[in-house]
């Protein structure tokens, strides 16, 4: 699954999508779900539709792209993507679900996916498609990276409080 954030491209088509395409072309995944319902800038379309166009430009077969274009949050990205998989009879034959997002966003994405798909007998696999400001080894070296990381921690706390993900200890 691939999704974008905050109503703009967040350069997902530059950092995340090429990695998802590489994984697809190497035969590690057979389908790609692009997810996101927020409008993006002046493109007059939602995130997922934009990512689908870009994925086709990068060589993904149209039949192998599923579009979830309603989600406004990461929780909705996962829930609606699961529903899309069920609708397309993919969940029963799927053993692994690969999530392509940035490192800073991966922990929450994986925790949400594990909750959403917990009864489906699938493994959740993380495949971070990195950007320049939030790499695992450099996020703390720039203001944008620090702000994004703090925001992500706040969202994790909020999701735990709402019971959407399990509480956990950081060691």
The two three-digit tokens of residue 68, written as one number = 């979830």
Give whole-number Cα distances, 126 to 27, 38, 51, 62, 101, in Å.
Answer: 16, 23, 19, 24, 8
Q: Is 169 exposed, middle or buried (0-12, 13-18, 19+ CB in 10 A)?
A: exposed
Residue with tokens 């699938």: 122
In this predicted structure, the answer to whether residue 8 has a pLDDT above a threshold of 60 is: no
In the chain, domain spans: 2-132
* pLDDT for res 6: 42
Give whole-number Cα distances, 44 to 111, 124, 129, in Å.
Answer: 32, 33, 25
pTM, entire model = 0.84
Over residues 121-130, mean pLDDT: 88
Compute the distance between CA of residue 33 and CA of residue 91 in angstroms, rounded to an integer.
Answer: 13
Q: Which residues contact 121 (CB under 8 A, 6 or more apart)?
A: 95
Assign 79 a pLDDT band (cuts: 50, 70, 90).
very high
pLDDT digits (tens, 9 = 90+) for 158-171: 999 999 988 877 76
In this predicted structure, the answer to whether residue 136 has a pLDDT above a threshold of 80 is: no
pLDDT digits (tens, 9 = 90+) for 51-64: 999 999 999 999 99
Of 111, 117, 103, 98, which is closest to residue 145 (Cα–Cα)?
Answer: 103
pLDDT digits (tens, 9 = 90+) for 17-68: 888 999 999 999 999 999 999 888 766 889 899 999 999 999 999 999 999 9
> 3-state DSSP call for residue 40?
coil
Domain 2-132, CATH among 3.30.230.70, 3.40.50.620, 3.40.50.1360, 3.90.120.10: 3.40.50.620
Compute the distance between CA of residue 34 and CA of residue 81 in angstroms, rounded to an integer.
Answer: 9
Compute the distance between CA of residue 15 and CA of residue 131 in angstroms, rounded to an integer.
Answer: 6
């Amino acid at each position: 699954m691939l999704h974008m954030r905050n109503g703009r491209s967040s350069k997902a088509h530059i950092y995340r999508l090429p990695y998802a395409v590489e994984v697809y072309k190497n035969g590690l995944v057979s389908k790609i779900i692009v997810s996101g319902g927020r409008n993006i800038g002046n493109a007059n379309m939602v995130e997922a539709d934009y990512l689908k166009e870009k994925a086709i430009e990068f060589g993904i077969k149209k039949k192998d792209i599923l579009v979830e274009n309603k989600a406004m949050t990461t929780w909705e990205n996962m829930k609606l993507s699961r529903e899309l998989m069920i609708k397309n009879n993919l969940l029963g034959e799927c053993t692994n679900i690969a999530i392509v997002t940035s490192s800073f966003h991966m922990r929450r994405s994986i925790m949400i996916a594990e909750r959403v798909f917990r009864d489906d007998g699938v493994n959740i696999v993380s495949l971070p498609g990195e950007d320049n400001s939030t790499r695992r080894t450099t996020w703390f070296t720039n203001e944008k990276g620090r702000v994004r990381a703090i925001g992500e921690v706040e969202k994790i706390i909020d999701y735990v409080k709402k019971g959407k993900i399990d509480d956990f200890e950081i060691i």
